[in-house]
Amino acid sequence: MASKNLKIDIKSGTISKEVATIIFDGELDAGSINKISACFDTIRKDGKKYVIIDMSKVSSVSSAALGELMGGRKLMIELGGDLVLAGMNLEVRTKLSLMGANKIFRFFNDLRTAVNAYKWEFQHQADAIKLSFPSNLKFVPPVRQLVSRIAKQKGYGNRDSFRIETIVDEVCNNAVEHGVQGSDDDIDMSINIDKDKIELNVINVSDPQKAAALKALLKTSMEKQLKIDDRRGRGLALIKMLSNKMSVDFSDKGTSVHVTKVREE
Amino acid sequence: MESQIELAYEDIKGRNNAKLIRFIGDLDATNVETVLEKVCNLFNDGFVHLIADFKKLRYVNSTGLGILLHFSKSAKEKGGSFKIANVNENVYEIIEIIGATSLLEIYDELEEAVAALD
Amino acid sequence: MDIRFPYKIHIQFPGDLDYIPPVRKFVSEMLQVSNFTPRFAYRSEIIVDEICNNAVNYGCVTNDAKVELVCEIKDDHVDFQIKDEGGSKEHIRRLRQAMHTEEDKKDDIHKRGLGLEIVKMLSEKIDLEIDSRNLTSIHVVRKREDIEREPKQ
């Protein structure tokens, strides 16, 4: 039986000059090997070394075609890049796993995820998360766990995630304690995380007296060693020791704490 | 990166085509593919009768459920079976809501599942 | 410090499945500290998981797409609202269909939209709003079954 014609579409230049996206539409079988091979040749000649294959329109893959894909990947690896597969349906994915392809190729749910993984890894893409929650100490444990889990989910090690959790805990505790008692104000947190660092920004509406006390404490910390027997001093000292950069701004909007922690693991 | 899930394997006495898999953690959209690959490896190695111990499986969502149904189907196609034991109440409720209790072989105790292997 | 009801949680995160486990656990933990039962928190975790998965998988088209989850926690029920930038026409058609059809158990289970079905079964009310810019928002209400109150100090 003649194999269904395989349609191939190559897109490049949209993500970076070294990345090409290939969309396969049809069956990847023995009859399509030459086409696939020619496609990889074109890509190599164009100077691409990172290939994302969109497999969402692929209905089946034979072992011969898989061999060709492996050849393409080997080519990209030799050039210092990679070839990854995205968007397989359950049947194709199962078949590929049964053929052992999962031990060789990185698989992604869809094209968008594959592109974002490339950008995260090679273009230092940062993810932005925003969170608002009421100013209450009881909410701090879930909030610090959220940030710690996000860090872990994005590949940060246990030690780093733990330190981040502690930083968030101390910053949020401060934010709650400096808040105006009995108000309905929220604490606003924004997180920017990339492969190398996490940046935290926490804003709360402050009680003017408490903000003044914090200002004084910070001034003291600049001039001499923070007193560790003072609870607020301890908290600030901890944040400073665990992070790489910390600053506090006071404005009409409230007190804004910025912390940067560089990834160590 | 995925939600934490761990699979621990054990042999089943007297059955060289069966394997016990202990699931530990949460089964959701971020890790179904990894679990799929691991189970495919077992099928590949000739283990067509699989028993899943869910004692330490805290959480399953619809994507996780989908993959369990897929395992059940795949195992049957290979002349084997996919049995589940020790499902906690929360997970069972989700399986029940979807109407999948009749589509999956679920046993209260692990021993019952093992005994049911023909 | 007593928790005052109602209160709101807003989370905005990238359209990436990786964020869903931390977000769903966060919601579950916030509910538990707010004296909802662990059972309620678990079911809410499932709801958040399924609506977020839906938003990420089908409602995010551009590479930098974001999802916004708003949880309004009242002392006797919880309101979840998920907003995404709007998916394809096909996605919107499927969403509307999932909202309005009765489950047909004769349908091949592999073809059914299991996620939204679970959400429907676990909630009192579920609404879908799509605005002119294709911004989709799904609104889910879940009532508290029983209240565990802390002993008065």
- The C-alpha atoms of residue A7 and residue A24 are separated, in whole angstroms, by 6
Extents of the domains making up chain B: 5-115
| pLDDT number for residue A228 | 56
- The C-alpha atoms of residue C7 and residue A120 are separated, in whole angstroms, by 35
- The C-alpha atoms of residue B65 and residue B54 are separated, in whole angstroms, by 13
Give the start-end residues of each E strand in C74-124: 77-84
Q: How many CA atoms lie within 13 A of A135 on its CB side?
A: 23
φ and ψ at residue B73, rounded to 5 degrees = -65, -50
Span A158-196, pLDDT tens digits: 989 989 998 999 999 989 988 887 777 899 999 999 999
**Do C10 and A130 lie within an 8 Å CB cutoff?**
yes
**Band of residue C152 on the pLDDT scale cut at 50, 70, 90:** very low
**Do C114 and B103 lie within an 8 Å CB cutoff?**
no
Span B26-82, pLDDT tens digits: 998 888 888 999 999 999 999 999 999 999 999 898 889 889 999 999 999 999 999
Collect all residues with Cβ–Cβ distance below 8 Å to C72 and sequence separation of at least 6.
C6, C7, C8, C78, C79, C81
ipTM at complex level: 0.89
B5-115 to CATH, choices 1.10.3720.10, 3.20.20.140, 3.30.1330.20, 3.30.750.24:
3.30.750.24
**Band of residue A225 on the pLDDT scale cut at 50, 70, 90:** low
Tell me if chain A has a CB within 8 Å of the CB of C53.
no
Rounded to a whole number, what is the distance in Å from the CA of A172 to chain B's nearest CA?
25
Q: In whole angstroms, how far apart are CA B63 and each of A34, A54, B11, B39?
A: 37, 21, 28, 16
| pLDDT number for residue A226 | 55
Rounded to a whole number, what is the distance in Å from the CA of C93 to chain A's nearest CA?
20
Domains of chain A as residue ranges with CATH: 7-122 (3.30.750.24), 127-262 (3.30.565.10)
| pLDDT number for residue C33 | 93
Tell me if chain C has a CB within 8 Å of the CB of B15.
no
Retrieve residue B30's tokens. 């971020």
Q: Please give the residue of chain B at the shortest CA–CA distance from C107.
A: B99
Length of chain B in residues, anyone?
118
- The C-alpha atoms of residue C81 and residue C62 are separated, in whole angstroms, by 21
Give which of C37, C149, C7, C15 is closest to C84, Cα–Cα: C15
Q: How many CA atoms lie within 13 A of A192 on its CB side?
A: 8
Torsion angle of C-alpha atoms B99, B104, B110, B113, degrees rounded to 10: 130
Collect all residues with Cβ–Cβ distance below 8 Å to C69 and sequence separation of at least 6.
C9, C10, C11, C12, C13, C23, C27, C48, C51, C52, C80, C81, C82, C83
**Do C45 and B28 lie within an 8 Å CB cutoff?**
no
C7-143 to CATH, choices 3.40.50.150, 3.30.559.10, 2.60.120.260, 3.30.565.10:
3.30.565.10
pLDDT for C60 beyond 60: yes
Give which of C46, C85, C43, A92 is closest to B63, Cα–Cα: C46
Tell me if chain A has a CB within 8 Å of the CB of B58.
no
Torsion angle of C-alpha atoms B89, B92, B98, B99, degrees rounded to 10: -120
pLDDT for C42 beyond 60: yes
**Band of residue C151 on the pLDDT scale cut at 50, 70, 90:** very low
Phi-psi domain of A182 (left: phi exceeds 0; alpha: psi -120 through 50; beta: other): left
Identify whether C6 is preceded by a cis peptide bond (ω within 30 of 0). Answer: yes
Rounded to a whole number, what is the distance in Å from the CA of C11 to chain B's nearest CA?
19
User: If 0-12 CB within 10 Å is exposed, 13-18 middle and 19+ buried, where does residue C134 land?
Assistant: middle
**Do C42 and B30 lie within an 8 Å CB cutoff?**
no
Span B79-97, pLDDT tens digits: 999 999 999 988 998 888 8
- The C-alpha atoms of residue B30 and residue A153 are separated, in whole angstroms, by 10
Nearest-by-Cβ selection for C16 from A113, A141, A142 = A113
User: If 0-12 CB within 10 Å is exposed, 13-18 middle and 19+ buried, where does residue B26 land?
Assistant: buried
**Do C17 and B103 lie within an 8 Å CB cutoff?**
no
**Do B33 and A107 lie within an 8 Å CB cutoff?**
yes
User: If 0-12 CB within 10 Å is exposed, 13-18 middle and 19+ buried, where does residue C95 land?
Assistant: buried
Q: Which of B2, B33, B41, B44 to mutate to probe the A interface, most A CBs <10 Å?
A: B33
